[in-house]
Amino acid sequence: MNLEKCLLCNKPIINTHKATNQKYCSGECRNIARGLANPKQTKKCTYCGKEFKTSVKAQVFCSHECNRLSFNQERRKERRAFSNLQKANKKCPICNSVYTAKWPSQIYCSKTCLKEAMKIKKRKILDLKTIPCQCCGKIFEQVNKKQRFCSLACHRKDANSRRDSRQTKKMGLSVKCKRCGKEFLRTYTGQQYCSDDCLRDKLNLKRQQRRTICKQLNNHNAERNSVLHGIRCLKRPFPMDGKCEICGKVALLGYHHWGEIVRGDWVTGIWVCRSNNCHSIIERPEESIRILQKFAVKKEQIDQEIENLKSQVKANKTMERHK
């Protein structure tokens, strides 16, 4: 229905909201028309008892707050009545006793019945059995599928007995002494030597080996300065950076010499690495041409250096004589 004039004031209707069933020209006319159709009545709130005016016939509460509180109160009453019905005269499925529950969802009468029910449920899920203990023979209920003993004491007792049996088997075996090679019967597990003397000899041998290694290292450090094949002579100074004079790498260095060795005199030589095979290549010329070429160039420089050192030493000696 599309009207041209307002039903209340007979003014023309300007349709601003594009509505098809607009009856009044404005909101004020609409509210006045509704008030005339449904006049306000004084009512009493069913929750708080306060008087209020309303034009809605179905309104019972004075405000939304009273409506909410009343709804919650009724709901609580219904819940209490329902829970009281559920709590009364319940039967426990474990002990079959009749009891009054503390809450509606309670199934078992006590904690002991609840624990028993959990055990039964666990047995069903894990397929647990009642078996005899492998140590004492007592019949018990399994806690897990792998359980074989009724208690921790039985488990320890069985483990100790198995360990002792293994040790007795090993003790009776005849083994060879690692020092003298003599066969003997073990008196305890892990025994490797037939007597205390063999054990002492082995320990002394290990100590001696350690000492010889230390001596070799000390001798190598001493060789850096003066000793060459048991003859005290003068070497070229050891490189401060610890690098090979041919390949330039930091390694364990050795002194490769050439020419005559005279006690107390300079020995011509070069500091070369042992680990990178510079020393072995110099001694076996067919292996690497590149290193030998470097060595030849370095050899000329070293010969010149040694000649200069010798001439300097001679000059110093002559100066001392003249003084």
Average pLDDT (2-21) is 74
**Token reading at 163:** 């360990």
Give the integer Cα–Cα distance in Å for 75 and 107. 25
- Domain range annotation of the chain: 139-171, 225-315
pLDDT band at 286 (very low <50, low <70, confident <90, very high): low
Burial-class residue 214 by CB neighbours within 10 Å (0-12, 13-18, 19+): exposed
Which region holds residue 100: left if phi is over 0, alpha if psi is between -120 and 50, else beta?
A: beta
Residue 42 vs residue 88, higher pLDDT: 42
Q: What percent of the chain has pLDDT over 70?
A: 81
Highest mean pLDDT among 59-73, 242-256, 302-316: 59-73
Q: How many CB atoms within 10 Å of residue 288?
A: 16
Q: pLDDT tens, 270-279?
A: 888 876 677 7
Residues 242-262, mean pLDDT to the nearest whole number: 77
Average pLDDT of the chain is 78
- What are the φ/ψ torsions at residue 228 (nearest 5 degrees)? -145, 115
Mean pLDDT across the stretch 164-178? 76
- What pLDDT sits at residue 154? 92
- CA dist., res. 9 & res. 27, Å (int): 12
Say if residue 33's pLDDT is above 80.
no
Instruction: Report the alpha-carbon distance of residue 178 to residue 193 in Å, rounded.
Output: 6
For the ranges 61-65, 97-101, 229-233, which has the lowest average pLDDT?
Answer: 229-233
pLDDT of residue 221: 47
| Start-to-end CA span in the chain (Å) | 145
List, in order, residues 6 or more apart from 188 with CB less than 8 Å away. 167, 171
User: Residue 242 carries which side chain, given as an amino acid letter?
Assistant: G
Mean pLDDT of 260-266: 68
Q: What is the pLDDT of residue 224?
A: 47
Between the ranges 120-124, 175-179, 184-188, where is the mean pLDDT highest? 175-179
Each residue's pLDDT tens digit, 84-129? 766 777 888 888 888 877 777 788 888 889 988 888 887 777 777 8
What digits encode the pLDDT tens for the residues 193-209? 888 888 888 888 888 87
Answer yes or no: is pLDDT of 160 > 80. Answer: yes
Cut 0.75: pTM above it: no
Taking residues 133-141, report their average pLDDT. Answer: 89
Confidence of residue 259 (pLDDT cuts 50, 70, 90): low
Tell me if 256 sits within 8 A of 270, measured CB to CB. Answer: yes
Q: Could you count the other beta carbons within 10 Å of the beta carbon of residue 148?
A: 13
